[in-house]
Amino acid sequence: MTEEGLVLQTKIDSFDFNWDLDKGLFNFEGEDAVLFWIKSAMKSFFDTIEEISGKETSSLVLETTGFRQGMVVGEFFKNMNLPVQEVANIIPRIYASAGWGKFTITDVDPEAKTAKVQTVDSWEYKINKEQGKNESGTFLPGHFAGIFSAVFGTSLWYKKITDQLGEHDYTHLDYFPSTVTVEENIHALARREESKKISELEKLIEDRTRDLKELVKEISSPVIPVLDGIVVVPLLGRYDEFRSEELVDKTLHSLPKYQADCLILDLTGLNQSISAYTVEFLSKLAAAANLIGTETILVGISPELGTKITETNFNLFKFNCFTNLQHGIYYALSKKGRKIF
């Protein structure tokens, strides 16, 4: 180790380390480098990425970053025209001297373009352990995938065989040619996120629709007991299968409750929305009410509405019909031998 003023130089396993304390520089093999504490500063860095991005996204970010950094390393060695096996021997020494952990690269096959990597006590493992995780991260697996992809000149990916965080002595990674790319992984994540958001929106719509139906159920066509034995049901808007079944059920349950012998259906709100389906539902409601001993009276029939009803072949003659609600109530009272003074 040599020292000149505030410049320190040393070699570790033939690799150069240089510090220029006056300028605040640290060089590793002639390139600017930085030093961080693994279990505090680097852990905080990883925690922050995961906190902001979420677990799945941060895992892909680290994997993609590792891969692209690995490509830079791999291209460097490829440009040196070194045999693949020699590269596999050099990389563990470089990374060990830089404090990355212990790496062993075996079964390098230039023809099949495959390799195996074993890691022990890597910096990523130490961070993940400090985070309390039970599975190692994706940066280093992606990093070596980038190195081998550049060195072999084809896309390689990995499979984790054993994990040091999973109570094994080391992490074992197999590398092999694959159509998997970091770009495809990014797009796949985007699709999953989009699908997740769509599912969330669908659920939100479903919840809101259910709430709206409940609201409509509560406020639509109320059953109003106006006098003893006389119930009025004002019909408003359009009636689909859901609304008509709800109204029939609600009305038939309310008639015995109010001991109603007269059901007055106010059709004033149907002037612009009468249909064959609505007429059929009215006939069903009136017939059901008749079965439990309640007479149905129709009110609010304008000339226009009367014309529309006759066009549907709905038989009005079996009902007592009046132009307005007041007349319908007067009639119902007269049936009971009563009147309003």
Q: Whose CA is closest to 145, among 174, 167, 121?
A: 174
Mean pLDDT of all residues belonging to the chain: 85
Q: Into how many domains does the chain fold?
A: 3
Least confident of 19-28, 99-108, 118-127, 177-186: 177-186
pLDDT of residue 272: 61
Q: Are residues 158 and 279 in the same domain?
A: no
Which of 33-42, 107-116, 305-314 holds the top average pLDDT? Answer: 107-116
Residues 34/42, Cβ–Cβ less than 8 Å: no
Q: How confident is the model at residue 70 (pLDDT cuts 50, 70, 90)?
A: very high
| Domain CATH for 321 | 3.30.750.24
Please give the biggest Cα pair distance in the chain.
Answer: 121
Q: What is the average pLDDT across 254-271?
A: 87
The first and second tokens of residue 177, run together, are 């040619």
Position 301 pLDDT exceeds 90:
no
- Give per-residue pLDDT as tens, 202-239: 677 777 777 776 666 665 668 889 888 899 988 877 77
Q: Where residue 189 falls among pLDDT bands split at 50, 70, 90? A: low
Task: For residue 62, give the CATH number of its domain.
Answer: 3.30.1380.20
- pLDDT tens per residue, range 4-26: 567 888 888 888 889 988 888 98
Question: How confident is the model at residue 144, as a pLDDT?
Answer: 96
Does one domain contain both 169 and 45?
yes
Of the chain, the percentage scoring pLDDT greater than 70 comes to: 89
Q: Which residue has the higher pLDDT, 107 or 179?
A: 107
Place of tokens 């020292």: 3
Same domain, 170 and 77: yes
The Cα 59–Cα 123 span in angstroms is 16
Do residues 160 and 135 make contact, with C-beta atoms less than 8 angstroms apart?
no
Q: Which residues contact 256 (CB under 8 A, 6 or more apart)?
A: 292
* Mean pLDDT, rounded, for 260-282: 79
Report whether pLDDT(313) > 60: yes
Question: What DSSP string describes 10-53?
Answer: EEETTEEEEEETTTTEEEETTEE-----IIIIIHHHHHHHHHHH
Q: Are residues 27 and 51 in the same domain?
A: no
User: What share of the chain in percent tops pLDDT 90?
Assistant: 35
- Is 169 part of a structural domain of the chain? yes
200 is a domain residue: no
Which DSSP string do the residues of 89-143 spell out, in sequence order?
A: HHHHHHHHHTTS-EEEEEEEETTTTEEEEEEES-HHHHHHHHTT-SS--SHHHHH
Q: What integer pLDDT is reported at residue 219 of this predicted model? A: 59
Range of 108's domain? 38-180
Residues 42 and 25 in one domain: no
Domain membership of residue 340 (yes or no) is no
Find out whether 118 and 103 touch, Cβ atoms under 8 Å: yes
Which residue from 35, 41, 46, 34 is spatially nearest to 128, judged by alpha carbons? 46
Boundary residue ending a domain (163, 180, 197): 180
